[in-house]
């Protein structure tokens, strides 16, 4: 965990980790952990990918046997869509408030990176609030909603990383997410890596390469 990390509990009981950025103001990185995870899980990876960025890592609001999750899921691991939907606006409010408290965060401009359960929530945020995000990195996602997404005027870059040997995802999960985001205007880079469900150095290298190829005005 970065030495500058602070754990904050908001007035409404939400807990999140925050790392204030250094240097010039820029996009905030919003980090969404996977099932049975915690708010600290993605901080080391984000620190390596964007060391000077402000980082906000909310703890999921659903208690699990091994930690936390960002929404409830069914026995087949698909989201309970009504539960997921109900948690979107409180999460966005938390991010807004956390950005307001940082001197290096540009309000309304964020990069969301999520893993597994957090990647599904991240995809939901990109669909429902594309105007709030500059980019997205989705590690092992699945579509948050089964219905067609609402049209969104957004050309944001999104990196989607699947695991070829991921036993927790089907062959079509990543394609469905990519198609949904592209239908909303996102510029999706979809890669299938020779890995399982867990995040690896291959994911980090792919994300680093992708970030280095983005235009200068992108995060």
Domains of the chain, first to last: 6-212 (3.40.50.1820)
Using the predicted structure, report yes or no on whether residue 41 has a pLDDT greater than 90: yes
| Environment class of 160 (CB within 10 Å of its CB; exposed 0-12, middle 13-18, buried 19+) | buried
In which band, very low, low, confident or very high, does the pLDDT at 99 lie, cut at 50, 70 and 90? confident
In which band, very low, low, confident or very high, does the pLDDT at 1 lie, cut at 50, 70 and 90? low
pTM here is 0.94
The residue ranking higher by pLDDT, 72 or 97, is 72
Whole-number pLDDT of residue 128: 92
The chain-wide mean pLDDT, for the chain, equals 91
CB contact at 8 A, 67 and 37: yes
Tokens of 133: 């995000």
Whole-number pLDDT of residue 146: 85
Whole-number pLDDT of residue 88: 96
Q: What is the per-residue pLDDT across 136-165, written as a single tens digit (0 to 9) for each?
A: 999 999 999 987 766 565 789 999 999 999
**DSSP-derived secondary structure letter, 124:** H
Tokens of 131: 């105007």
In which band, very low, low, confident or very high, does the pLDDT at 84 lie, cut at 50, 70 and 90? very high
Question: In sequence order, what are the beta bridge partners of 187?
Answer: 157
Tokens of 78: 């698909």
Mean pLDDT calculated for residue range 34-41? 97
Using the predicted structure, report yes or no on whether residue 9 has a pLDDT greater than 90: no
CB contact at 8 A, 70 and 60: yes
The residue ranking higher by pLDDT, 150 or 46, is 46
Could you tell me how far CA 180 lies from the centroid of its own chain? Answer: 16
Mean pLDDT calculated for residue range 3-13? 78
Distance CA(176)–CA(178), nearest Å, equals 5
Q: What is the per-residue pLDDT across 182-218, written as a single tens digit (0 to 9) for each?
A: 998 999 999 999 999 999 999 999 999 999 998 876 7
Tokens of 71: 């929404």
Distance CA(33)–CA(42), nearest Å, equals 6
Q: Which of 49, 29, 40 is nearest to 106 (CA)?
A: 29
């Amino acid at each position: 965990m970065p030495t500058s990390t602070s754990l904050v509990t908001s007035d409404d009981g939400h807990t999140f980790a925050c790392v204030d950025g250094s240097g010039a103001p820029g996009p905030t990185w919003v980090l969404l952990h996977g099932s049975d995870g915690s708010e600290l899980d993605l901080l080391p990876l984000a620190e390596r990918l964007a060391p000077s960025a402000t980082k906000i890592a909310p703890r999921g609001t659903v208690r699990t046997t091994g930690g936390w999750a960002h929404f409830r899921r069914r026995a087949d691991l698909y989201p309970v869509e009504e539960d997921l939907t109900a948690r979107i606006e409180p999460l966005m409010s938390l991010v807004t408030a956390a950005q307001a408290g940082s001197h290096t965060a540009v309000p309304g401009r964020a990069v969301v990176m999520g893993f597994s359960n957090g990647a599904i929530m991240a995809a939901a945020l990109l669909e429902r609030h594309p105007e709030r995000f500059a980019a997205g990195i989705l590690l092992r996602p699945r579509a948050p909603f089964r219905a067609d997404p609402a049209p969104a005027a957004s050309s944001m870059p999104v990196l989607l990383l699947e695991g070829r040997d991921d036993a927790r995802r089907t062959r079509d999960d990543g394609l469905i997410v990519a198609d949904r985001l592209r239908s909303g205007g996102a510029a999706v880079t979809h890669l299938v890596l020779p890995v399982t469900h867990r995040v690896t150095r291959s994911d980090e290298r792919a994300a680093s390469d992708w970030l280095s190829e983005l235009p200068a005005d992108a995060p």
